[in-house]
Amino acid sequence: MTDRKQPAGTETPAVARLRGVLKDAGLVGEGDYAAHLEEKHLRDGEAHEDARGHKRRGPLRRPSAKQSEQDGDEQPGILDLFGTLEWDESYDYKLERSRRLRSRRLGGLALVLALALAALAAPQAAAQELDADDADHPGRTFRDSLASGGDGPEMVVVPAGSFRMGCVSGVDCYPGREEPVHEVTIPRPFAVGSHEVTFAEWDACVSAGGCEHRPDDRGWGRDRRPVINVSWQDAQEYVSWLSGETGAAYRLPSESEWEYAARAGSNTAYAWGDEIGSGRANCAGCRGGWSHQTAPAGSFPPNSWGLHDMHGNVWEWVEDCWHESYDGAAPDGAARQSDDCSRHALRGGSWDAGRALVRSASRFGHGSGIRVGYLGFRVARTLAP
Ligand SMILES: [Ca+2]
- 1 found inside a domain: no
Distance 245 CA to ligand 1 centre (A): 25
Residue 352: give its domain's CATH number.
3.90.1580.10
Say yes or no: 343 and 366 in one domain. yes
How far, in Å, CA of 188 to CA of 175, rounded?
31
| Ligand 1 center to 301 CA (angstroms) | 13
Q: CA angle at residue 191 from 11 to 8, to 5 degrees?
A: 25
Query: How many whole angstroms from 165 Cα to the centroid of ligand 1?
Result: 18
Residues 62 and 91 in one domain: yes
Cβ neighbours, 10 Å, residue 322: 20
Q: How far is the CA of 320 from the centre of ligand 1 (A)?
A: 17
Judgement on whether residues 193 and 98 belong to the same structural domain of the protein: no
Residue 129 lies in a domain: no
Distance of alpha carbon 50 from alpha carbon 78, whole angstroms: 8
Q: Are residues 114 and 19 in the same domain?
A: yes
Distance 190 CA to ligand 1 centre (A): 19
> Within this chain, do residues 222 and 356 fall inside the same structural domain, yes or no?
yes
Q: What is the DSSP string of 355-371?
A: GGGGSTT-EEEEETT--
Shared domain for 100 and 152, answered yes or no, is no
Please give the pLDDT value at position 48.
33
Please give the distance, rounded to the nearest whole angstrom, from the Cα atom of residue 279 to the centre of ligand 1.
15
Give dist(CA 87, CA 327) in Å, integer: 49
How remote is the CA of residue 15 from the centroid of ligand 1, in Å? 27
Strands 315-322 and 375-377: parallel
What is residue 27's DSSP assignment?
S
Q: Assess whether 231 and 346 both reside in one domain.
A: yes
What is residue 384's predicted lDDT score, i.e. its pLDDT? 84
Q: 169 and 52: one domain?
A: no
Indicate the residue type of 275: E
Q: How far is the CA of 310 from the centre of ligand 1 (A)?
A: 4
CA of 129 to the centre of ligand 1 (A): 32
Point out the domain boundary residue: 98, 122, 146: 122
Q: What is the pLDDT of residue 17?
A: 52
- Domain shared by 113 and 170, yes or no: no
Q: Provide the 10 A C-beta neighbour count for residue 331.
A: 12
| DSSP per-residue letters across 158-191 | E--EEEEES--S-SS--TTTT-S-EEEEE-S-EE
- Give distance in angstroms: CA of 43 to centre of ligand 1: 36
**Distance from the alpha carbon of residue 350 to the mean position of ligand 1, in angstroms:** 6
Choose the final residue of a domain: 70, 101, 122: 122
8 lies in a domain?
no
Distance 114 CA to ligand 1 centre (A): 42
Give me the domain span that covers residue 206: 135-382
The CA 297 to ligand 1 mean position distance, Å, reads 10
Which pLDDT does position 168 carry in this prediction?
A: 97
- Number of separate domains in the chain: 2
Distance 229 CA to ligand 1 centre (A): 14
For residue 344, report the distance from its CA to the centre of ligand 1, in Å: 16
Spacing of C-alpha 54 from chain mean position = 19
3 state DSSP class of 291: coil
Residues whose CB is less than 8 angstroms from the CB of residue 33 and which lie 6 or more positions away in sequence, other chains included = 19, 22, 82
In the reported structure, the alpha carbon of residue 307 is separated from the centroid of ligand 1 by a whole-number distance in angstroms of 10
Query: Are 191 and 139 in contact, with CB atoms under 8 Å apart?
Result: no
Pick from 79, 96, 122: which residue ends a domain? 122
Do residue 92 and residue 178 come from a single domain? no
Distance 5 CA to ligand 1 centre (A): 22
Per-residue pLDDT of the chain (385 residues; tens, 9 = 90+): 544 434 333 444 544 454 444 334 333 333 332 333 233 222 222 333 333 333 333 333 333 333 333 333 322 222 222 222 222 233 333 334 444 444 444 444 444 454 444 344 433 333 333 455 555 577 899 999 999 999 999 999 999 999 999 999 999 999 999 999 999 999 999 999 999 999 999 999 999 999 999 999 999 999 999 999 999 999 999 999 999 999 999 999 999 999 999 999 999 999 999 999 999 999 999 999 998 999 999 999 999 999 999 999 999 999 999 999 999 999 999 999 988 999 999 999 999 999 999 999 999 999 999 999 999 999 999 998 7
329 CA distance to ligand 1 centroid (A)? Answer: 23
Distance 384 CA to ligand 1 centre (A): 26
Residue 157 in domain:
yes
In a domain, 82, yes or no: yes
Q: Is residue 3 in a domain?
A: no
> How far away, in angstroms, is 302 Cα from ligand 1 center?
12
Residues 116 and 154 in one domain: no
Note the pTM of the prediction, 2 decimals. 0.68
